[in-house]
Chain A
Amino acid sequence: GENVEQHPSTLSVQEGDSAVIKCTYSDSASNYFPWYKQELGKRPQLIIDIRSNVGEKKDQRIAVTLNKTAKHFSLHITETQPEDSAVYFCAADSGGGADGLTFGKGTHLIIQP
């Protein structure tokens, strides 16, 4: 089945700096890659996603890149703000079979004032 590795597990950056979180996946059939943000005590919420026919997608301060050959994708947050502090999860979806959506173990992003 699919295996998703996420790094780092904790990331601390100064407010205003950029943050990058990286994920790798194992199943070359995976074709959909969402990112979720989970604030303390809250549910995961989708912040951006990318499909396998696209290499990069941006939404204001957030961007995601996908390298299908290397089987890795990354989340980029620019001009970080205190409200960006949260746990971020990447996921990969093969679109069929028993695997469904497989999540990485999460990255705790800390924005230092």
Chain B
Amino acid sequence: EAQVTQNPRYLITVTGKKLTVTCSQNMNHEYMSWYRQDPGLGLRQIYYSMNVEVTDKGDVPEGYKVSRKEKRNFPLILESPSPNQTSLYFCASSFGQGMTPQHFGDGTRLSIL
């Protein structure tokens, strides 16, 4: 079954404690991206990757890092989380950046205390 898998689904942690949210897709997609979803603001892109070892900033990259060492994985790293990073996060993948639909993971709800 084609899917995008995120882990964990829920996490409550404290300010400054490094965390990683993993994302894996089994569709051999080249393009992967991370979004955060906040009430009234919709989905905003954090980072995206067009292929292995190629990553770039989206609209709201501050406080986040990503890596793309393998095609299937695209982890999101919060080196020093802060309360304003409390949000619902979605990973997505597609065959290409433009003209193709994106498949979303089930989301990760992060609470930073």
Partners in one complex: yes
A residues in contact (CB < 8 Å) with B? 1, 6, 31-32, 34, 42-46, 49, 51, 89, 93-96, 98, 100-106
Instruction: State whether A103 and B43 are in contact (beta carbons under 8 Å apart), knowing that A32-B99, A34-B101, A96-B98 are contacts in the complex.
Output: yes
| Shortest Cβ distance from B40 into A: residue | A105
Contact of A93 among B40, B41, B98, B104 (CB under 8 A): B98
In the complex, per-residue mask of B97-108: 1 if CB is within 8 Å of any chain A CB, else 0: 111111111110
Is the CB of B44 closer than 8 A to any CB of chain A?
A: yes
Please indicate the chain A residues that have their CB under 8 angstroms from the CB of B41 in the complex: 105
Knowing A43-B106, A98-B56, A100-B48 touch, does A93 contact B97 (C-beta < 8 A)?
Answer: yes
CB pair B45 A46 closer than 8 Å: no
Residues on A with C-beta less than 8 A from B102 are 34, 46, 101
Q: How far is the CA of A96 from the CA of B80 in the complex (A)?
A: 31
> How far apart are the CA atoms of A66 and B90 in the complex, in Å?
27
Complexed CA–CA distance, A22 and B41 (Å): 17
Binding site for A on B (CB under 8 A): 33, 35, 40-45, 48, 56-59, 90, 97-107
Nearest opposing residue in chain B for A52, CB measure? B99
Residues of B within 8 A of A49 (CB): 101
Taking A1-B59, A44-B90, A46-B101 as given, write out 9 further A-B residue pairs in contact, using a Cβ cutoff of 8 Å, ordered by the A residue number. Answer: A31-B98, A43-B105, A43-B107, A45-B104, A94-B98, A96-B98, A101-B102, A103-B44, A105-B40
Please name the residue on chain A nearest to B45 by beta carbon: A100
Q: Give complex CA distance A110, B43 in Å.
A: 20
* A44 lies within 8 A of B101 (CB): no
A-side contacts of B90, CB under 8 Å:
43-44
28 example contacts (A-B, Cβ-Cβ < 8 A) are as follows A1-B59, A32-B98, A32-B99, A34-B102, A43-B90, A43-B105, A43-B107, A44-B90, A44-B104, A46-B103, A51-B99, A89-B42, A93-B97, A93-B98, A93-B99, A94-B98, A96-B97, A100-B33, A100-B48, A100-B97, A101-B33, A101-B45, A102-B59, A103-B42, A103-B43, A103-B44, A105-B40, A105-B41
